[in-house]
């Protein structure tokens, strides 16, 4: 039996293609992407090695049941962004053409040659909260879209009535979903306490608080405030080359939903001149003229405050702003 085995898994809606060969050149096996297929794959992998490290890509949720099953079976799991695999393929000089089987082999080699961070599943209460909150955001987007359509003139009264009905339905669903979110948080004391702590931060209301909770997950997953800000994509990265002086830029990365959840409280703070607004004023006085630069600095400051409040489990002290 092999001591340590890296396995590359390409996940699709109906199938998982698996490369379990130690030399990254062996055959690729296919299993169904369901409970039965996962169990069969885990059983086969467990017979080959004492320690198994499974590597897969983010695939819009199709990978989550398999990743959870592997984690529960005691395997190490890494879930990587697809762009990393694209650049890794280019570094090997591979052709642009790709197949599921080739991706499984590539994922296995990527896991062997790179030190990948381990993936851990969210606790049930956070996973359910995230599903509820993201569903609410989808409904809000749909309500906004249909609300705009009701303002567009049409000759048919029937069409206009249907548009208004859609708005009423979405509004009702959002209201009911809000009650479900509140009930879910109330059933979990840990979530309830974290929500109350976040609401002590100026600019963060109830909706923003549960959005931040849902997207951040357990605060213990972040070792520092800087790591939390980086997870939200709010840590500038220095870019410079040759005679060009290094400049701090903010490329798009991290959890966009978490970044959005931090954006609206900062805008609210700026409008009402509370909370991180005082910090943003200092940034402006130091020479930052671009509006988005100041707001981004405020978001990063707010991310640090959120991490501190949740980590220490103490209410925010407004006298320290």
Q: Where are the domains of the chain?
A: 2-113, 124-187, 211-238+252-320
Query: CB–CB of 98/4 below 8 Å?
Result: no
Provide CB contacts within 8 A for 232, sequence distance 6+.
254, 255, 258, 259, 262, 299, 303
In our burial notation (b when 16+ CB lie closer than 10 A, e otherwise), range 201-227 reads bbbbeebbbbbbbbbbbebeebeebee
Q: Place 201 in a pLDDT band, splitting at 50, 70 and 90.
A: very high
The pLDDT of residue 241: 60
| CATH class, 2-113 region | alpha beta
pLDDT-wise least confident of 1-5, 56-60, 140-144, 152-156: 1-5
The pLDDT of residue 239: 60
Burial of 95 (0-12, 13-18, 19+ CB in 10 A): exposed
The pLDDT of residue 251: 58
Q: Place 25 in a pLDDT band, splitting at 50, 70 and 90.
A: low
User: Average pLDDT in the 126-130 region?
Assistant: 95
The pLDDT of residue 66: 94
258 to 60, 184, 223: CA distances (angstroms): 17, 20, 17
Pick 235 or 277 by higher pLDDT: 277
For 238-292, the pLDDT digits (tens) are 665 666 555 555 556 678 899 999 999 999 999 999 999 999 989 888 877 678 8
In our burial notation (b when 16+ CB lie closer than 10 A, e otherwise), range 267-303 reads ebbbeeeebbbebbeebeeeeeeeeebbbbbbbbbbb
The pLDDT of residue 254: 78
pLDDT-wise least confident of 29-33, 45-49, 197-201: 45-49
Query: CB–CB of 186/192 below 8 Å?
Result: yes
User: Average pLDDT in the 42-54 region?
Assistant: 90
User: Average pLDDT in the 147-170 region?
Assistant: 95
User: Average pLDDT in the 169-184 region?
Assistant: 97
What is the distance between the alpha carbons of residues 113 and 169, in angstroms, rounded to a whole number?
A: 52
User: Average pLDDT in the 185-201 region?
Assistant: 96
For 202-228, the pLDDT digits (tens) are 999 999 999 999 999 999 989 999 999
293 to 5, 201, 258, 260, 284: CA distances (angstroms): 46, 22, 18, 15, 9
Q: Place 61 in a pLDDT band, splitting at 50, 70 and 90.
A: confident
Q: Which two tokens stand for residue 161?
A: 């009535």
What is the distance between the alpha carbons of residues 173 and 82, in angstroms, rounded to a whole number?
A: 34
What is the distance between the alpha carbons of residues 321 and 316, in angstroms, rounded to a whole number?
A: 10
The pLDDT of residue 290: 74
Q: Place 96 in a pLDDT band, splitting at 50, 70 and 90.
A: low
Q: Place 37 in a pLDDT band, splitting at 50, 70 and 90.
A: very high
Concatenated DSSP letters of 35-90? HHHHHHHHHHHHHHEEEEEEEEE--TTTTHHHHHHHHHTT-EEEEE-HHHHHHHHH
Query: CB–CB of 111/88 below 8 Å?
Result: no
Task: List the alpha helices (DSSP H) in 115-188.
Answer: 124-150, 157-186
The pLDDT of residue 260: 93
Query: CB–CB of 16/41 below 8 Å?
Result: yes
For 180-191, the pLDDT digits (tens) are 999 999 999 999
């Amino acid at each position: 039996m092999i001591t340590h085995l890296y396995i590359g898994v390409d996940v699709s809606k109906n199938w998982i293609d698996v490369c379990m060969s130690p030399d990254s050149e062996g055959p690729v096996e296919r299993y169904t992407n369901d409970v039965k297929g996962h169990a069969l794959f885990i059983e086969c992998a467990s017979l080959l090695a004492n320690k198994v490290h499974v590597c897969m890509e983010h695939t819009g949720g199709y990978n989550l049941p398999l990743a959870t099953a592997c984690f529960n079976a005691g395997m190490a799991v890494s879930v990587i962004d697809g762009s990393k695999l694209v650049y890794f393929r280019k570094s090997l000089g591979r052709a642009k053409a790709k197949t599921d089987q080739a991706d499984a082999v590539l994922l296995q080699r990527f896991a062997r040659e790179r030190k990948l961070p381990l993936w851990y599943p969210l606790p049930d209460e956070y996973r359910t909260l995230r599903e509820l909150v993201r569903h609410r955001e989808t409904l809000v987007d749909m309500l906004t879209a249909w609300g705009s359509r009701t303002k567009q003139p049409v000759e048919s009264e029937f069409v206009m009535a249907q548009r208004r009905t859609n708005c009423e339905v979405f509004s009702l669903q959002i209201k009911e979903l809000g009650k479900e979110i509140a009930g879910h948080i109330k059933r979990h004391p840990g979530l309830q306490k974290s929500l109350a702590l976040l609401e002590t931060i100026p600019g963060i209301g109830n909706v923003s608080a549960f959005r931040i909770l849902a997207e951040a997950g357990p605060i213990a997953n972040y070792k520092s405030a800087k790591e939390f800000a980086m997870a939200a994509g709010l840590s500038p990265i220095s870019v410079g080359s040759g005679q060009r002086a290094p400049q701090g830029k903010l490329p798009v990365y991290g959890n966009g939903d978490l970044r959005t959840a931090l954006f609206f409280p900062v805008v609210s703070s700026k409008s009402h001149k509370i909370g991180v607004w005082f910090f943003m004023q200092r940034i402006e006085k130091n020479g930052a003229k671009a509006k988005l630069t100041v707001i981004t600095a405020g978001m990063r400051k707010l991310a640090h405050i959120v991490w501190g409040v949740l980590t220490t489990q103490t209410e925010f002290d407004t006298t320290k702003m």
